[in-house]
Chain A
Amino acid sequence: MTAWRQLGWEGRIGLVLLAVLILMALLAPWIVPGDPLAIVGEPLTPPFTTELHILGTDRLGRDVLSELLYGTRITLLVAFFSAAAALVVGSIVGTLAGFLGGFADAVLMRITEAFQTVPGFLLALAAISVTGPSVPTLIFAISLGNWTQAARVTRAEVLSLRERDFVAAARTLGMRPLEIAFREILPNAFGPAASLAAISVAAAILIEAALSFLGFGDPNRVTWGSMIAEGRTVLRAAPYLSIVPGLALVITVLSVHLVGRGLSRNGRLRP
């Protein structure tokens, strides 16, 4: 319970919102049975007019609520996995750069800088253009532009840890250098990178939404971005079709930011 108290009111609101969203994603087949892409009613029913379709129907007569709930799944799945991949890759690169130093450091940091120089969104676009859109490739494409900050932060931390006594002790114990880097240093240097988690999850959500808005998402799944794009074609007649999934995006990103602020406030993730 102390962790809950330490979160502060911002973190608590964020955590509750996020828990609700995760529940929505998990329970989607029970809340709204049936295929979310099935045509179930009159097209373009406005929200809150019938009991059957609380949030109305879209251009083709699909239920907006079930599209929204199934969209939560893709959004959270892609965002969490790509942020996790970015953190892991970033902290490995950062650990190697900081621990090895010298030429390896220079090369790895130039690569990191190059990835920072090209807009992450363009990198994702380029990756999708080669691999084609699907959930795993989306995760890969989004993490491609998202790992650099973790690498930089971890490297800085490793540099300050490298000369500590416990590293010297590990060396006298006869551990191999890479063993020291990944078993001794990385776990201690992971804190600052982990505090970037919220920012990278939020960034991943927004990039995924933008990609699927442009039509580069997985064509066989409903996502909030593709819902907004769908609604855009009837923006004048039915603006709610674009506005509702956008609000869902805002709430999700906001809750992630709130959790991040709650965590960084108590400094629990900072060693």
Chain B
Amino acid sequence: MPPLASFFVKRLLGAIPVLGVVLVGSFLLLEAASGDAVDSYVARTGGMDADQLAQLRQAWGLDQGPLQRFVAYISALAHGDFGWSTAFQRPVLSVIWERLPVTLLLMGIATALAFFLGSLLGVIAGARPGSLRDRFLSIGSLALYAVPGFWLGLVLIVVFAVNLRWLPVGGIETIASGKTGLARLGDIATHLVLPVASLAVVYLALYLRLMRDRMSEIWRDPFVLGLKARGLSHGRIVWRHVARNAVLPVVTMLGLQAAVMLGGSVVVESVFAIPGFGRLAAEAVSRRDTPLLLGVILCSAITVIIANLLVDLAYGKLDPRVRTIR
């Protein structure tokens, strides 16, 4: 097998036990919640007589012991059946499928922005540790790191949407605007500016700090002294050697933060009334829709696993040492 493919397969196999634990956990949660799948299904019709309920339970395998119920749950999942959403009265998977793209777009843009801007500012700060620029950026990033994303969202709404009227208050696009093509794209983009900003700022601060701290450590490495002795210019040492080594932990953090950011999008989407995957989680809890909540949890676990896989691939590209070990 080519090395890339074998790496891929190895990582996917490694994810199976983790996903298994998540499945067991979500099954236990489902058991702990009041009511079962039949209850949620008949919630719409307003009820059935007891015989029919018992029949339905038997047909869905819910009248058996916990182990059999778990097997039934897993086999349904394997068939792509994530259960029935009581709140939406539709299959869970179709609800999630509808909401996921918006959130992935939001998270993707926020991650890219936080990574590039954060590591760029980190390089600027870390180019001369202890300088005025460094101190300014370090304190700034510490302050930004303490800002809750949802509150920043509200502040941005007050400033840019209510007072200045530059940007829309919420939503993902103007409702019934009839826009198509590029005009619609532009409309969505203006709607995304504030949510992306409120989601990205915290991570920007994190990546800035990480990059800056790692760079200030690398400056003390003997190889930097060697580069200086060879007469390399400051700029070349900063960009080609110090920054390049310091970016690796930032990339690792990118994968670790995928889960955190997904959690953050729950609140940010609620603030901006974006019909996304994150808000779905909040809706599932407030409308007592356990099957939907479990679907959201499973899908977010899968999303995080995929994100980490991508990060590992990028890592292999960036760090030649990883390739030779493999």
Residues of A within 8 A of B (CB): 110-111, 113-114, 116-123, 125-126, 128-130, 145, 202, 206, 209-210, 213-216, 228, 232, 235-236, 239, 242-243, 246, 249-251, 253-254, 257-258, 261
B303 to chain A, nearest CB (A): 9
**Chain B, 14-33, contact with A by CB distance < 8 Å: what is the 0/1 string?**
00011111100100010011
Q: Can you list 18 residue pairs at the A/B interface with Cβ under 8 Å? A: A110-B17, A114-B301, A122-B263, A122-B300, A126-B293, A129-B284, A130-B33, A202-B146, A210-B264, A232-B154, A242-B151, A249-B148, A250-B147, A250-B148, A254-B142, A254-B143, A254-B146, A257-B145
Interface status of B62 (Cβ within 8 A of chain A): no
Tell whether, in the assembled complex, residue B157 and residue A129 are in contact, meaning their CB atoms are under 8 Å apart: no
Q: How many A-B residue pairs have CB under 8 A?
A: 138
Contacts of A206 in B (CB 8 A): 148
- Residues in A with CB closer than 8 Å to B147 are 250, 253
Q: Which of B273-326 contact A (CB under 8 A)?
A: 281-282, 284-286, 288, 290, 293-294, 296-297, 300-301, 304-305
- Contact in complex: A118, B22 (CB < 8 Å): yes
* Interchain CB contact under 8 A, B18 and A120: no
The answer to the question of B193 belonging to the interface, with a C-beta cut-off of 8 Å to chain A, is: no
Q: Is the CB of B267 within 8 A of A214?
A: yes
* Residues of chain B from 122 to 152 with CB closer than 8 A to chain A in the complex: 142-143, 145-148, 150-151
A122 and B297: CB pair below 8 A?
yes
Contact with B266, one of A125, A215, A228 (Cβ below 8 angstroms): A125
B37 to chain A, nearest CB (A): 16
Given contacts A129-B285, A210-B267, A214-B270, contact A120 B260 (CB under 8 A): yes
Q: Do A120 and B148 touch (CB < 8 A)?
A: no
Contact B155 A243 (CB under 8 A): yes
Looking at A130, A215, A258, the one whose CB has the most chain B CB atoms below 10 A away is A130
Is A117 a contact partner of B154 (Cβ separation < 8 A)?
no
Neighbour of B296 across the interface among A122, A202, A213, CB < 8 A: A122
Task: Verify A114–B285 contact, CB threshold 8 A.
Answer: no
Q: How far is A261 from B138 in the complex, measured between Cα atoms in Å?
A: 12
Q: Is the CB of A117 within 8 A of B304?
A: yes
Interface residue from A129, A214, A254 paired with B290 (Cβ < 8 Å) = A129
